[in-house]
Amino acid sequence: MSRFLSEEAARLAPYTPGEQPADRGYVKLNTNESPFPPSPKVLEALTSAETAALNLYPDPDCGPLVRALAERYGLAPENLLAANGSDEILAFAFRAFCGEGRGVAYADITYGFYKAQAALFGLKSTVVPLREDFTLCVEDYMNCSGTVVIANPNAPTGMAVPPSEIRRLLEADPERVVIVDEAYVDFGSESCVPLVGRYGNLLVVQTMSKSRSLAGGRVGYALGSPELIEGLKRVQYSWNPYNVNRLSMLAGTAAVKDEAYFRNCCDAIVQNRSWTAAKLEELGFAVLPSCTNFLLAKSGRLSGEALYRGLKEQGILVRWWADGGRILDCVRITIGSMEQMKALVDGIGRLLERT
């Protein structure tokens, strides 16, 4: 550890991203990326003329992108904020709506960025255990006095909470901000965006990394009341006003407008997910029901580590957590193309034959 670190930085436990190895070609099923390229309209939007304009700063308000999103969701531009990926939105929200006397509550098994952000900002965290079957129960959050963050569907379990339950949480304390992280909502669960106009304490966070194939473009956005969006902008303009680059803004705007391509990609992922879950169950796996572009699965014959390492030796990457606790023997498998999923199933079959 560097001797130049402050005491505060030395105490951080940074988020660990999924592997991005460059030593060989992998069947990459570890970071929940889309197996499909961006919409053809995205490629059309990134013209040489637009690239030549990179000498100019981008619009700090992301006007064209925000207007396209507002039209798509039936909201006003004042209800939206775009950012450099949904992680930046979450960081803005943790800084804007948490602090001294107002902590943050999140699940014990969920997106690890919440814990990292709470540590970065020195926030008091309330960690709420999922139920024994890995379901998230909003009743367990009713007495949390600080901001509540719920990944819905949850990661890495893939399970979702219906908006009617989120509504109960919003109504229980109108002074408490509830952040619903909907990174995976497009793969089969119901969004809370229709509740934005009714509840001033709801902030919905979404991303274009998964269902719109723009993980490399880093485009995320928040949907909420003008009051909440103003709070996020206050942090943005204190942090990084020009936070979305010109090309990502163009790509995001074009992706939002190609609804047909978006739907086709999501439908293909859902079909591949069903096929993969059935094949894994035939191989003796316990597979959690998923509304996402991944599956959390556990073998009855191999540990999570053995699966991860055995598949990696075959050139197939899945996600495994050495500090996984209750999910130590599980692996998270991104749903890719059918070719990739068949390679995964074949690879697991070879591992099981060895045992």
Q: Is residue 116 part of a domain?
A: yes
Based on the fold, state whether residues 170 and 27 are members of the same structural domain: no
Based on the fold, state whether residues 33 and 154 are members of the same structural domain: no
Q: Whole-prediction pTM value?
A: 0.95
Residue where one domain finishes, among candidates 220, 243, 258: 258
What's the total number of domains in the chain?
A: 2
Q: Write the pLDDT tens digit of every residue in 117-173.
A: 999 999 999 999 999 999 999 999 999 989 999 999 999 999 999 999 999 999 999
For the residues of 251-310, what is the DSSP string, one character each? HHHHHHH-HHHHHHHHHHHHHHHHHHHHHHHHTTEEE---SSSEEEEEESSS-HHHHHHH
Grade residue 65 by pLDDT with cuts at 50, 70 and 90: very high
Based on the fold, state whether residues 236 and 313 are members of the same structural domain: no
Based on the fold, state whether residues 123 and 163 are members of the same structural domain: yes
Based on the fold, state whether residues 283 and 204 are members of the same structural domain: no
Based on the fold, state whether residues 290 and 150 are members of the same structural domain: no
Based on the fold, state whether residues 67 and 165 are members of the same structural domain: yes
Based on the fold, state whether residues 84 and 217 are members of the same structural domain: yes
Answer for the pair 277, 158: CB distance below 8 angstroms, yes or no: no
The parent domain of residue 142 ranges over 40-258
Based on the fold, state whether residues 102 and 244 are members of the same structural domain: yes
DSSP H or E segment with residue 65 = helix 63-73
CATH code at 85?
3.40.640.10
The larger pLDDT score, comparing residue 128 to residue 101, is at 128
Based on the fold, state whether residues 58 and 180 are members of the same structural domain: yes
CATH code at 264?
3.90.1150.10
Q: Write the pLDDT tens digit of every residue in 213-236.
A: 999 999 999 999 999 999 999 999
Q: Mean per-residue pLDDT for 191-220?
A: 98
Q: Mean per-residue pLDDT for 196-210?
A: 98
